[in-house]
Structure formats: structure tokens, C-alpha cells
Amino acid sequence: MISVADVRVRYGAVAALDGVTERAAPGEWLGVIGPNGAGKTTLLRAVAGHVRHLGRIEVCGQPTAGMSRRKLARIVAYVPQRPQLPPDMTVGDYVLLGRTPHLGMLAREGPRDLSIVADVLDRLDLGALAGRTLAKTVGEPDQIAAAHLYLMDNRFVTGTVLTVDGGAVLT
């Protein structure tokens, strides 16, 4: 479950969110719809912990305010509408970054992580692109970003399209 109660975000003198309250129960889909500048992305970024906010946000019944960044990153992932893909990085390495919240401090990816990456890339028909640089991928950035998120093994993903492993959905 994701719930937001009286959430407020300001960018200087501008109120991007002013008292937003909503809830998405497990298995439920919730669409956030509005014109440009209405605060849709700001709300999703607040849920993911990427912007400071007032009010209460809970994920899985736990307030996000007291969570470490690592713990929140393990359960909520955010992908912007137009992700910045490092052009010289390979598809495989970029997708592997999705495992970062699940590694210990200063830990390196192990054989299990590499196996998971290969499996996800194959499932999304991206296996042939694993060694290709992101600059040489045309038409697949959304799939590559999805693979990156899938590897994060999150319950909630916020962004343009939200997918959930058996939980609430916020899009």
C-alpha cells in the first residue's frame, strides 16, 4: 500500500503540491492525471524520496520519513519520463545498476547478480544488446529503463508507468 496525507512540496516560493491526500491499496491501480505543472511528477518524486516534503507518506504501512535511503530504494523505484542514459555505458552495466540497493556497503556485484541481469535482459528480449553501449541503442530506452527497475526488485515503482510486484500501483 502507498498512502500520502496532506503532502506539500515547495520549490522556493512556488507550491508544487499543496495538501495532496491519496491512497493505493494492494492490487489497486491509481492514476495521477493533470495538466503540465500540476505536480504529478513532484508527487511521484516525493513518494520515492527524491524531494523534501511536508505531510505523511507511507509505503507498506511504514512512514518513509524515518527510512534510510537504502531501505526506501529497496521498496520504491523512480524512473523519470526521459531517463538520462550514460552513452558510453553498456546496456548490461546500466541494468546491473538496478541491483545497487541490494548490495552491501562497498560490495561488488557477484555471480548471482550477473545471472539475474542476464535473465531479465533475456526475458525482455534485450539479451543481444547487453554488450552494446547505450549510445548505440535506438528505440529501446524504455525497455532498458524497465529492465533496470525490474532488477531493483522493488514492490513499488514510480514514474511514467508504474509496475508492482503484487502491491499498489501509482502511475
- C-alpha cell of residue 11: 520549490
- What is the chain's mean pLDDT, rounded? 81
Residue 155 dihedral angles phi and psi, to the nearest 5°: -80, -30
Ranges in the chain annotated CATH 3.40.50.300? 2-80+155-170
pLDDT tens-digit map of 66-111: 898 888 887 887 777 777 788 899 988 988 888 888 788 888 888 9
pTM of structure: 0.71
Give the Cβ contact number of residue 4 at 10 Å: 22
- Closest by CA to 93, choosing from 130, 55, 138, 51, is 130
SS (H, E, C) 71-88: HHHHHEEEECCCCCCCCC
One of 3.40.50.300, 3.30.428.10, 3.40.190.10, 3.40.30.10 is the CATH number of 2-80+155-170, namely 3.40.50.300
Query: Is residue 21's pLDDT more than 80?
Result: yes
